[in-house]
Amino acid sequence: MEGLEVSSPEFDLVVDLVGRLKARLIAKTVPGSEYTGWVTLPTDMMRHLNQVTALAEEARRRADAMVVVGIGGSYVGARAACEALGRGVDGVELLWAGWSLSPVMTRRLFDSLGGRDFTINVISKSGGTMEPALALRLLGEYARNRYGEGWIDRVIVTTDPSKGALRRWAGEHGITALDIPPSVGGRFSVLSPVGLLPLACAGIDVAALLSGALQMQHVTESNPLGDDPAVLYAAARCALEQQGRVVEVLTLPGPELHQFGEWWRQLAGESEGKHGAGIWPSLLTLTTDLHSVGQYLQDGRRMLQETFLAFDEIDGEPLIPASAPVADGLDLVANRPLGLVNRIALEGTRQAHRAGGVPGVTISTRRLDAQCLGALFYFFQVAVALTALFHGANPFDQPGVEAYKKSVKARLDSLA
Amino acid sequence: MEGLEVSSPEFDLVVDLVGRLKARLIAKTVPGSEYTGWVTLPTDMMRHLNQVTALAEEARRRADAMVVVGIGGSYVGARAACEALGRGVDGVELLWAGWSLSPVMTRRLFDSLGGRDFTINVISKSGGTMEPALALRLLGEYARNRYGEGWIDRVIVTTDPSKGALRRWAGEHGITALDIPPSVGGRFSVLSPVGLLPLACAGIDVAALLSGALQMQHVTESNPLGDDPAVLYAAARCALEQQGRVVEVLTLPGPELHQFGEWWRQLAGESEGKHGAGIWPSLLTLTTDLHSVGQYLQDGRRMLQETFLAFDEIDGEPLIPASAPVADGLDLVANRPLGLVNRIALEGTRQAHRAGGVPGVTISTRRLDAQCLGALFYFFQVAVALTALFHGANPFDQPGVEAYKKSVKARLDSLA
pLDDT tens digit sequence for B190-208? 999 999 999 999 999 999 9
- pLDDT band, residue B401 (cuts 50/70/90): confident
Optimal mutation site among A291, A313, A350, A407, interface B, most CBs of chain B within 10 A: A291
Encode burial over A165-180: b for 16+ CB neighbours within 10 A, e otherwise: bbbebbeeeebbbbbb
**What pLDDT does residue B67 have?**
98
Q: Contact B287/A315, CB-based, under 8 Å?
A: no
Q: What is the DSSP string of A129-175?
A: -HHHHHHHHHHHHHHHHHHGGGGGGGEEEEE-SS-SHHHHHHHHHT-
| B173 has catalytic annotation | no
**What pLDDT does residue B128 have?**
86
Region B215-220 average pLDDT? 96
> Looking at CA atoms only, how far is residue B390 from chain A in angstroms?
15
**What pLDDT does residue B52 have?**
97
**What pLDDT does residue A219 have?**
95
| A270 has catalytic annotation | yes
Quick one: fold of B8-30+210-393?
Answer: Rossmann fold (3.40.50)
Using CB atoms and an 8 Å cut-off, which of residues 203-232 of chain A contact chain B? none
Give SS3 for B114. Answer: coil
Nearest to B280 by CA among B316, B297, B304, B311: B304
Query: Global pTM?
Result: 0.97
Region B163-179 average pLDDT? 97
The partner residue sitting opposite A348, judged by closest CB among B106, B330, B404, is B404
Task: Identify all chain A residues contacting B73, using CB atoms and an 8 Å cutoff.
Answer: 291
pLDDT of residue B3 exceeding 80? no
Alpha helices in B356-369 (DSSP H): none
**Domain parsing of chain B, residue ranges:** 8-30+210-393, 38-204
Using CB atoms and an 8 Å cut-off, which of residues 360-379 of chain B contact chain A? 368
| Distance (Å, whole) CA B389 – CA B371 | 28
**A100-114, B140-154, B292-306, B396-410: which has the minimum mean pLDDT?**
B396-410
Task: Identify all chain A residues contacting B281, using CB atoms and an 8 Å cutoff.
Answer: 293, 296
Indicate the average pLDDT of chain B: 95
- What would the pLDDT profile of B351-365 be if each residue is shown by its tens digit? 999 999 999 899 999
| B150 and A CB contact within 8 Å | no
**What pLDDT does residue A401 have?**
86
The partner residue sitting opposite B282, judged by closest CB among A166, A282, A299, is A282
Contact A160, A125 (CB under 8 A): yes
**What pLDDT does residue B5 have?**
54
**What pLDDT does residue A19 have?**
95
- Supply the ipTM of this predicted assembly: 0.97
Q: How many helices (H) and strands (E) does chain B have?
A: 14, 9
Going by DSSP bridges, is the β-strand pair B155-159/B118-123 parallel, antiparallel, or unpaired? parallel
| A174 and B CB contact within 8 Å | no
Region B97-117 average pLDDT? 96
Task: Identify all chain A residues contacting B349, using CB atoms and an 8 Å cutoff.
Answer: 404, 407-408
| Distance (Å, whole) CA B258 – CA B251 | 10
| B270 has catalytic annotation | yes
| B401 and A CB contact within 8 Å | yes
Nearest to B234 by CA among B85, B394, B17, B61: B17
Region B386-411 average pLDDT? 93
**How far are the Cα atoms of A81, A285, B185 from residue A262, in angstroms, in the given order?**
11, 11, 30
| Distance (Å, whole) CA A22 – CA A30 | 9
Optimal mutation site among A113, A293, A367, interface B, most CBs of chain B within 10 A: A293
- Indicate the CATH number for domain B38-204: 3.40.50.10490
| Distance (Å, whole) CA B362 – CA A404 | 17
- What would the pLDDT profile of B8-45 be if each residue is shown by its tens digit? 888 999 999 999 999 999 999 999 999 999 999 999 99
**How far are the Cα atoms of A88, B222, B258, B378 from residue B79, in angstroms, in the given order?**
28, 31, 10, 16
**What pLDDT does residue A188 have?**
98
Contact A390, A383 (CB under 8 A): no
Contact A269, B283 (CB under 8 A): no
Taking the CA atoms of residue B216, residue B217, residue B222 and residue B223 in that order, the dihedral angle to the nearest 10 degrees is 40
pLDDT of residue B184 exceeding 60? yes
Q: Find all residues with CB under 8 Å of A245, minimum gap 6, and list them.
A: A279, A303, A304, A305, A359
Q: CB atoms < 10 A from the CB of A97, how many?
A: 26
Q: Which residue of B has its CA nearest to A343?
A: B101
**A8-30+210-393 shares its CATH topology with A38-204:** yes
**What pLDDT does residue A360 have?**
87
pLDDT of residue B239 exceeding 90? yes
Tens place of pLDDT for every residue, chain A, 416 residues?
444 556 688 899 999 999 999 999 999 999 999 999 999 999 999 999 999 999 999 999 999 999 999 999 999 999 999 999 999 999 999 999 999 999 999 999 999 999 899 999 999 998 889 999 999 999 999 999 999 999 999 999 999 999 999 999 999 999 999 999 999 999 999 999 999 999 999 999 999 999 999 999 999 999 766 579 999 999 999 999 999 999 999 999 999 999 999 999 999 999 999 999 999 999 999 999 999 999 999 999 999 999 999 999 999 999 999 999 999 999 999 999 999 999 999 999 999 999 999 998 999 999 999 999 999 999 999 999 999 999 999 999 999 888 888 899 899 999 88
Question: What burial class does residue A138 get, using C-beta atoms within 10 Å of its C-beta: 0-12 exposed, 13-18 middle, 19+ buried?
Answer: buried
